[in-house]
Amino acid sequence: MTGMPEHKPTLPFGEWPSPITAARLVEGAAGVGEIRADGDDVWWNEQRPGEGGRYQLVRWSSGGHRHDLFPPWDPTGEGSNWNARTAVMEYGGGAWGVRDGVVVFANWADQRLYRVDPGRGSVPVPITPEPPVARGHRYSEPTWLDDDWLICVRENHDPAVVAEHGEAVNELVAVSTARPEGQYHQAVRVLVSGPDFVHSPAVDPTSPQAGPTRIAWIQWDHPRMPWDGTELVVAEVTRAVDRIPSEIATQEVVAGGPSESVVQPGFLADGTLVFCTDRTGWWNPWRARGDGSVEPVIAGGGVEGEIGGPLWVGGLRWWAELADGYLLVIVRRDGGDALAVIDPAGRLREVDTFFSEIEQVVTGGTDHDALVVAGSPTAEAAPYAIEVMEPGGDWPNCATERLRPHRELGFDTEWFSAPTHITFDSAGGRQAHALFYPPKNPDVEPIDQALPPLVVMIHGGPTSAARNQLALAKQFWTSRGFAVVDVNYGGSTGYGRPFRDLLQGAWGIVDVEDAAAAAEHLAKEGFADRRHLAIRGGSAGGYTTLAALCFHDAFKAGASHYGVADLSALAADTHKFESRYLDGLVGPYPEAAATYDERSPIRHTDGFSAPLIVLQGSEDEVVPPSQAEMIVDALAAKGIPHAYLLFEGEQHGFRKAENIVRALEAELWFYGRVFGFTPADPIEPVDGAVGLG
């Protein structure tokens, strides 16, 4: 009969049927990363799980048409399968650049820089020589020095160089953009070498064509990480008679130091150097003055919000120049992002948008004020063009144009659980933060008086933060009747430097305490079933997961995705960028070896009692498979229920569609076995699972 309410079945949590399947997560998925303007064109990169996880470059033309730069993916592997991805610092980022229709990118397979010219049929041509060993020279942040030369970061893994220095060498190099026709004798020239790391080169657009070119970059040395302290350096690139870059002159440290983190240096159209520094306790924009001093861009010394962030990858942007001395910036507060305008008088005013997470902002070229990559609780991250309204009236406000259509999901936003930012008490009188997602499914009624299982998500890094935007990987859980809490434990970014520094010397303590406190808070408030608390995380989040299961009894199950089991092994066997990371998080190694053993789950396997599923990539250079195998062997020796999946060909983080699907379904199957429910999804059991029936 019309007008009668629709009957909904009453089902136990965990058994709710959902159209948000693991396969749906990757069907047509494209993780949009960096975005750039080139005249009236807009470019961005898309990481596509359905294409083996490769990074495609996409051009949006002024007519609204989108064009892939590289030919279609060849699943047989016989085609070129170009992939704009760099391995610099292992995490990559900043793999490409574009100017006047010319694209330069680092190709994943060999790590050489390639050039693609408009009208050449999109055929990439290498512009850097073949290295002494495969993938031995890695490039990032290609930035035009002039029409004929780039400046970029090169990470040199030449065996002779590694033997001399004990590790790869990071340096700033100039690279000729000319098509080499097989001749590379002048293609690459080293400009800066010596610091352990160099990053984020920027070029002053006001530098005269006939004279030296002013550039800026940041640098830092072991054992610092870039969020601990960096130096901002300004110098001039001198030229030979034939305009070939020859050397660096008049080098000067403008800002930064051992306890001041500087990120995103850049020059305005008038040559003013702007950068973000956390010298006030919050990353905020500052500028260099002509007399060598620096001053805050925001009147009153700045705001209590993060305009800046941790440099895990290249290509990041938190501010962009608008016309007439205005800046558009990303401000992070209370677990979410907002756009704001800084006017020439230094007044900061937020812009009204629907965005909750903004990954980067750049100047918009000839047709737009700015470009962003942004998402919301009901929209995945996508490229947008931004038009900021003129001063007056309700200004600042803006109009947004989405440049990539929503992918067809087959369901609408009523399925999405929107997060709430929560703050809760933790150990030692601290407070921690999180994004909480209650279970939501419009087609099901929960059993009266029942409480849902809780998945406590631990972000990686650990110097990072939970992301406040639609992620189907979270909705996969909430639509099946799970509550989810994404924890911003002490050490996370987005809450100022003092909060970020809480993890110094305390990794494995503060993060674990805050994860347990989040679960306890939600259970106490009646939002989760205390008997069904699970914890999951990848990389550093996997370590927190293992430590929580080993040293605490709050959780009844866990999932470690390529997580750290042995801190000493990690200190001795990881890549250059993170090789001294634990000096700050735990203590110098080997001097603090006892502390490493004290906090390593693999050294205290007697503490394990809760079931655990371990998921690992076979080619992970950050957390090698040996770490996963050690913990699995320990679980087997103790007779603890567990499951283990090793994904061939995956690195640190799963990028292939089939592996993303299998990992998520296996984890759901695992929780069903542990918590005693049967998922509505047909899932293949995990081969070799022990003690799970």
> For residue 243, what pLDDT is reported?
86
CA distance 517 to 452: 17
Q: Token pair 């283990």 is at which residue? A: 644
pLDDT surpassing 60 at residue 5 = no
CA distance 501 to 122: 47
Q: DSSP assignment of 511-577, as one string?
A: HHHHHHHHHHHHHHTTSS-TTSEEEEEETHHHHHHHHHHHH--S-SEEEEES----HHHHHHSS-TT
Strand partners, 104: 97, 115
CA distance 580 to 584: 8
In a 13 Å sphere around the CA of 452, the CA atoms on its Cβ side amount to 26
CA distance 131 to 597: 39
Q: Which amino acid is at 310?
A: P
Distant-in-sequence, close-in-space partners of 312: CB < 8 Å, separation ≥ 6: 89, 91, 93, 461, 463, 464
Instruction: Please report, to the nearest 10 degrees, the dihedral formed by the alpha carbons of residues 221, 306, 540, 603 taken in order.
Output: 80
Rounded to whole angstroms, the maximal C-alpha distance in the chain is 88
**Distance between the two ends of the chain, CA-based, in angstroms?**
46
CA distance 120 to 610: 59
pLDDT in tens, 229-280: 999 999 999 998 788 999 999 999 999 999 999 999 999 999 999 999 999 9
pLDDT exceeding 90 applies to what percent of the chain?
84
CA 651 from centre of chain: 15
Assess contact for 320 and 362: CB atoms under 8 A.
Answer: yes
C-beta atoms surrounding 284 within 10 Å: 27
CA distance 472 to 342: 34
Pull the structure tokens for residue 624: 């090698």
C-beta atoms surrounding 136 within 10 Å: 19
CA distance 397 to 417: 27
Strand partners, 284: 277
Mean pLDDT, residues 175-197: 83
- The DSSP letter of residue 434 is E
pLDDT, greater one: 290 or 593: 593
Distant-in-sequence, close-in-space partners of 392: CB < 8 Å, separation ≥ 6: none
Q: Which amino acid is at 475?
A: Q
pLDDT, greater one: 140 or 50: 140
Mean pLDDT, residues 111-123: 85
Mean pLDDT, residues 373-379: 96
Assess contact for 137 and 112: CB atoms under 8 A.
Answer: yes
Mean pLDDT, residues 208-235: 95
pLDDT surpassing 50 at residue 1 = no
**Domain range annotation of the chain:** 413-675
Query: pLDDT confidence of 650, banded at 50, 70, 90?
Result: very high
Stretch (H or E) spanning 294 = strand 294-296
Q: What is the pTM of this model?
A: 0.94
pLDDT surpassing 80 at residue 6 = no
Strand partners, 591: none
Beta strand extents in 193-267 (DSSP E only) = 197-203, 213-220, 231-239, 245-256, 262-267
CA angle 209, 212, 218 (to 5 degrees): 115
CA 372 from centre of chain: 16
* Helices 540-551, 510-524: inter-axial angle, 10-degree rounding: 70
Helices (H), 132-259: 159-165
Assess contact for 610 and 557: CB atoms under 8 A.
Answer: yes
pLDDT in tens, 394-437: 567 889 999 999 999 989 999 999 999 999 999 999 999 999 99
Mean pLDDT, residues 576-591: 96
Rounded alpha-carbon distances, angstroms, from residue 105 to 55, 102, 125, 142, 577: 11, 10, 10, 8, 22
Rounded alpha-carbon distances, angstroms, from residue 261 to 215, 220, 225, 496, 497: 19, 10, 9, 12, 10
Query: pLDDT confidence of 105, banded at 50, 70, 90?
Result: very high
Task: For domain 413-675, give the CATH number.
Answer: 3.40.50.1820
pLDDT surpassing 80 at residue 180 = no
Assess contact for 610 and 556: CB atoms under 8 A.
Answer: yes
Q: Residue 135 — left, alpha, or beta (φ > 0 → left; ψ -120 to 50 → alpha)?
A: left
> For residue 77, what pLDDT is reported?
83
pLDDT in tens, 129-178: 999 999 999 999 999 999 999 999 999 999 999 999 999 999 999 999 98
CA distance 124 to 306: 39
Over the chain, what is the mean pLDDT? 94
Instruction: Please report, to the nearest 10 degrees, the dihedral formed by the alpha carbons of residues 15, 21, 22, 28 taken in order.
Output: -170
> For residue 343, what pLDDT is reported?
93
Q: How many secondary structure helices (H) and strands (E) does the chain include?
A: 11, 38
Backbone angles phi, psi at 684, to 5 degrees: -70, 125
Cα radius of gyration rounded to whole Å, the chain: 25
Mean pLDDT, residues 535-556: 96
Query: pLDDT confidence of 599, banded at 50, 70, 90?
Result: very high
pLDDT in tens, 329-369: 999 999 999 999 999 999 999 999 999 999 999 999 988 99
pLDDT surpassing 60 at residue 2 = no
Q: Which amino acid is at 653?
A: G
CA distance 357 to 467: 7
> For residue 181, what pLDDT is reported?
64
CA distance 180 to 178: 6
Mean pLDDT, residues 497-523: 98
Closest CA to 558 of 646, 495, 452, 641: 641
Instruction: Please report, to the nearest 10 degrees, the dihedral formed by the alpha carbons of residues 298, 304, 309, 315 taken in order.
Output: -30
CA distance 176 to 571: 37
Beta strand extents in 80-178 (DSSP E only) = 96-99, 102-106, 113-116, 125-126, 137-144, 149-156, 169-176
Pull the structure tokens for residue 339: 């756009």
pLDDT in tens, 604-633: 988 999 999 999 999 987 788 988 998 899
Query: pLDDT confidence of 78, banded at 50, 70, 90?
Result: confident
Closest CA to 28 of 7, 47, 2, 13: 47
CA distance 546 to 539: 11
> For residue 4, what pLDDT is reported?
46
> For residue 184, what pLDDT is reported?
55
CA distance 559 to 456: 10
Distant-in-sequence, close-in-space partners of 254: CB < 8 Å, separation ≥ 6: 216, 232, 233, 234, 273, 275, 288, 292, 294
